[in-house]
Amino acid sequence: MYPSLNRSVTTDQSLWRDSFHDASQSRKRESEALIAEPCHRNDGALAHVVAIQDDGSAFVSSLRACTKHKNLHRGTQIHDEILKRGLLEKCSDALVTMYAKCGEIGKAKALLDMYNTRDVITWTSIIAGYARDGHGQSALDCYERMQHEGVPANAVTYVFVLKACSAIGAIDKGKDIHKAAKEKGLLHDNILLGTALVDMYAKCGALSKAQGVLERLPYRDVVSWNALITGYAQKGLGDQALKCFKLMKQEDIPPDSVTYLSLLKACASIGAADRGEQIHDEIVRQGLLKNDLSLGNALVDMYAKCGALSKAQDVLEKLPTRDVVSWSSLICGYAQKRQAKQALECFRRMQHEGIPPDAIAFVCVLNACSHLGLLDEADSLFTDMITRFGVAPNLECYTCMVDLYGRAGHLEKAVQLIQEMPSSDHSALWLALLGACRQWGDVNVGRWAFEQIIAKNKNNVSAYVLMADIYAAAGMLENARYIEAMRITQQQSIGEALV
């Protein structure tokens, strides 16, 4: 594959060395070519490289190519060759970076700990690896070690430390990073760092602080605006998200798919179907629905949550492809409007298209059955969920079935289902049963459910009220007064604790 270089190896090794030093871009291409080669070519190719690169630089170049292409398999092979040649110390930084960026953070950390000389690049690689994998605390621990060793952080380090802060809600540490970056003058010309700060504050719920940081940035782009808009949307502050979008457009910054996803979520949270329809028109004009199912699903969800079910169904019908999220959004919309027949029809159509339902789809369709008291339908669906589709029922599914059995007067079935659950340590489940006991006047089962709730949470006011009602309806007035007294005493103790 490399005829001119192979001839150089056999005739003059010094010519090899000159070719590497005088043609760095060529070496980069050749290193990347090594990555693309089948594994059986690895041994000879690397042997030629190491024959003339005894300082390890060719291996470093090849490892950078592995990092770029996320080729862990070839990177591991190169690591083995480095060990054979005794070049580990010279290549350690590149190995740490390769393993960290390829997702092998444990191996990267082990290599890092082997050497006393660690620089900002290796530390940042480890911090970035932990942050990307969602191990925020581990990333912050590494940052603390880096600081303890006197290694100064750079802007890239701060970006990933802020990402870690976002993941675990460590706003105080995020504020420290903000202060350090400001003191170093890093916010004047680094939009990535500025955006990371906006994102950190937004995800930690400090939205006014996030907006303040964004407004002070020397320039803003779609990513920095998206961080703030998404923050408002996720907190249910749809009006604020839409205001930010207006400001973004005034700066002539074109929105992208991420912007639209957050805006549709914002519209759904405040029931702004008209504004959502305007955003829908923008998305269609830009042709974004052709290749972005997530946007199509967000549109279905927005219209469904706003109660515009005919529009939600129309969007779904026109999607080039549909998945379980598309159908579940529509099914949940129909269920919320107590249109059980339409919800069940959508559920059947989804299966007819070969799309297996997930737990969310089952929750929605079971809720639809619950609203109309369709016990037989729900019973069949719940059985299919476990036996036919292999979907483990979640708490909402169990609660829905307990509520259905209870309202139909089948308290023994409700009790049996609770006893068969992997864990029944949930107040919502017991409250559903307790509510059914009040409806049917079952004192014994009601007392059992009440005891389960109070054992877990003595401050559950609803439980006291329901149990007192059950006793009162049964003519057990003294018991009812006793439960009411318990409730008052408990509330008084809470009040005293707050003083």
Task: Specify whether the CB–CB gap between 406 and 417 falls below 8 A.
Answer: no
Q: How far apart are alpha carbons 68 and 417 in whole angstroms?
A: 53
pLDDT of residue 135 exceeding 70: yes
Confidence of residue 10 (pLDDT cuts 50, 70, 90): very low
Question: In angstroms, rounded to a whole number, what is the distance separating the alpha carbons of residues 441 and 428?
Answer: 19
Smallest Cα–Cα separation from 424: which of 385, 400, 398, 405? 398
Q: In this structure, how many other beta carbons lie within 10 angstroms of the beta carbon of residue 292?
A: 15
DSSP one-letter string for 270-322: HT-HHHHHHHHHHHHHTTTTSS-HHHHHHHHHHHHHTT-HHHHHHHHHH-SS-
The token pair at 271 is 């029931």
Least Cα distance to 90 among 59, 52, 131 occurs for 59
pTM of the predicted model, to two decimals? Answer: 0.78
The domain locations on the chain are 1-114
In this structure, what DSSP letter does residue 425 have? -
Reading the block at residue 152, the tokens are 């100064």
What pLDDT score does 88 carry? 86
118: pLDDT confidence band, cut at 50, 70 and 90?
confident
**Is-contact 213 194, C-beta < 8 A?**
yes
pLDDT tens, position by position, 355-404 = 999 999 999 999 999 888 899 999 999 999 999 999 999 999 999 999 99
Residue 4 in this model has a pLDDT that exceeds 70? no
Contacts of 193 (CB under 8 A, 6+ apart): 155, 158, 159, 162, 181, 186, 187
Rounded CA separation 484/482 (Å)? 5
Residue 20 has pLDDT above 50, yes or no: no
Residue showing tokens 């089962």 = 445
pLDDT class of 35 with cuts at 50, 70, 90: very low
Q: Tell me the pLDDT tens digit for each residue of 52-105.
A: 455 688 899 999 999 899 999 999 999 999 998 888 888 888 898 899 889 899
Q: Round to whole Å and give the CA distance between 335 and 362.
A: 11
Q: Mean pLDDT, to the nearest integer, of 232-244?
A: 97
The pLDDT value recorded for residue 16 is 30
pLDDT of residue 47: 47
Give the tens place of pLDDT for each residue, 155-187: 999 999 999 999 999 999 999 999 999 999 999
Token code pair at residue 84 = 């054979």
